[in-house]
Structure 1
Amino acid sequence: MHTVDLNSNKTLLFISFSFGIFSLALVSFELVSFQLFKWLGFTLVFSTVVIATLQQKNKMFVHINRAGISYGIGFTVRYIHQESVQSISSHSSWFGDVLIVKTRDNNSIRFYAWQVSETDLSKAERLLAL
C-alpha cells in the first residue's frame, strides 16, 4: 500500500458529544442554571455532529503518500508537496495524537485529534523519503 490514511479519534468525538449532552441535561433538569453550560452543550453537540458528518462524507481527512500530504478541512482540499516537507512527527496530548509536519520554510502544520501509530508514522517517513 502506498498511502497512509489517518483515522479520526472516535473516542474524543464520543467524549465531546457525551459531555455536551451532559451539560444540556444539567441545564434542562435545572440542576445548574448557568447559561454557560447551555451554550457549551450546544456548541459541543453541534461541532461534534458537524465533524462526524464531514468525516463520514470523506470531506475531513489526512492522506500521506509519495507526492506529499493532502488534507481536507471541510469543503477545501490542501496539499503539502513532498519537496517542501522537512520532518514529520507525532505528539500525544489530552486531545489525542497530534501530527506535526514541519516544512522547509519553517512553518509547522498540526493535525489535531487524529490517531497516529508508530507504524503509520514510520511508513509516512519512508513514503516521504525523510
Structure 2
Amino acid sequence: MPGEDWHYFPPAQPAGREQMQVTRADGYDFARLDWQVCEACRTGFVIAVRVTDEYQGRGYAGRMLRYALRGREGYAWTTTVQKPMGRVFFQRMSRSTGVQFGDGRKPFLCPHMRTAHGLPGAAQPLPADD
C-alpha cells in the first residue's frame, strides 16, 4: 500500500534470527514477523507474528510469512504456542502453502538455532510488492 515501507532484517549469523517489519511513512511499526531458519538442517521456526489491531485482516501476516518460506520448500517448520486467532492463522497458512507448522506445543530448534543468539542484522528495504 502507498505510504508503507517493508524492511527485512537478515540474520547476523547462520541460523540466527530474521525479521520483517512493515511501517507507515511516519515510522509506526504495525506489522512484524520474527523467525529463524537453519539452512544446514532445513528447519524453520516462527518466533512471533504481530499485526496491530487496525491493520489485521489485510494480509500483512500472510505476506510476511510467505516471504520467510520462499525458497525453503521441504523445510520442517514449527512455531510457538498460539492463541486461538494464531491457531486459525497457521491453519489457513498451512492450507494455502502446504507447509505444516508443527503442533504449536513444542517448537523445534536445531543445535545451530539454539547456539545462534542476538538480534538480526541491519535493515534492508524491500519493494512494497515483496
Tell me the TM-score normalized by structure 2: 0.24
TM-score (structure 1 length as normaliser):
0.24
Larger of the two Rg values belongs to structure: 1
Task: Pick the structure with more helix per residue.
Answer: 1
User: Which structure dedicates a bigger proportion of its chain to strand?
Assistant: 1
